[in-house]
Amino acid sequence: MKKTGIFYGSTTGTTESVARLIAEKLGVSPEDVHDVSKLDAALAESYEALILGTSTWGDGELQDDWYDGIKVLKNANLSGKTIALFGCGDSESYSDTFCDGMGILFEDLKDSGCTFVGAVPDSDYTYASSVAAADGKFVGLALDDVNESDRTDARVSAWTEILKADLA
């Protein structure tokens, strides 16, 4: 498997918990799971693959720590890197901005020379709108641990099985 680093921005702990679950299912060492507030270009560049996770706050905004983290990534050399995204959101209370943070990460990094993997069909979700979705797919794994916590483990398991081939 490609050397993989997982970076998360988490205010309440949900995104961090999901990041650790993804690491466990992929066999990524806990030492390779990082809070994005500690991200620097050298750390990002030391990995062949990056899994980036954010929650969505306010009116469809990134989790706070990602504002500096995205600046670091935009200045890092991501050419040839494999990137997978996951996002946590609330599809009931914030149905019109569901997992928008993940979509913001995608938009900010799509021209960096990296290859995105891990898109997920949106047919299994109920939401009104998301900048993380296009053509019937989310740009990564969308999770609603608030209203659908009973589906989180199965969604993560299915997604990581798909990722294993992309990270081989």
Chain segment 92-113, per-residue pLDDT in tens: 999 999 999 999 999 999 999 9
Which pLDDT score is estimated for 156? 97
Which pLDDT score is estimated for 34? 98
**CA-CA distances (angstroms) from residue 51 to 37, 91, 141?**
15, 22, 11
Q: Are strands 115-117 and 49-57 parallel, antiparallel or unpaired?
A: unpaired
What percent of the chain is modeled with pLDDT above 70? Answer: 100
Share the mean pLDDT of the chain.
95
Q: pTM higher than 0.75, yes or no? A: yes
pLDDT higher than threshold 90 for residue 58? no
Which pLDDT score is estimated for 59? 86
Chain segment 35-44, per-residue pLDDT in tens: 999 999 999 9
Note down the domain range covering 108.
Answer: 4-167
Query: What's the CATH code of the domain at 122?
Result: 3.40.50.360
Which pLDDT score is estimated for 41? 94
Q: Which of 10-14, 22-26, 150-154, 160-164 has the lowest mean pLDDT?
A: 10-14
Which pLDDT score is estimated for 112? 94
CB–CB of 22/28 below 8 Å? yes
CB–CB of 49/2 below 8 Å? yes
Tokens (6 digits) for 23 = 């690491």
Q: What is the Cα–Cα distance from 26 to 93, expressed in whole angstroms?
A: 31
pLDDT higher than threshold 90 for residue 115? yes
Determine the straight-line distance between the first and last CA of the chain, rounded to whole angstroms. 4
| Mean pLDDT to the nearest integer, 136-160 | 96
| Mean pLDDT to the nearest integer, 2-26 | 96
**CA-CA distances (angstroms) from residue 66 to 112, 123, 162?**
17, 28, 26
Q: For the chain, what is the domain count?
A: 1
Closest CA to 114 of 140, 80, 139: 80
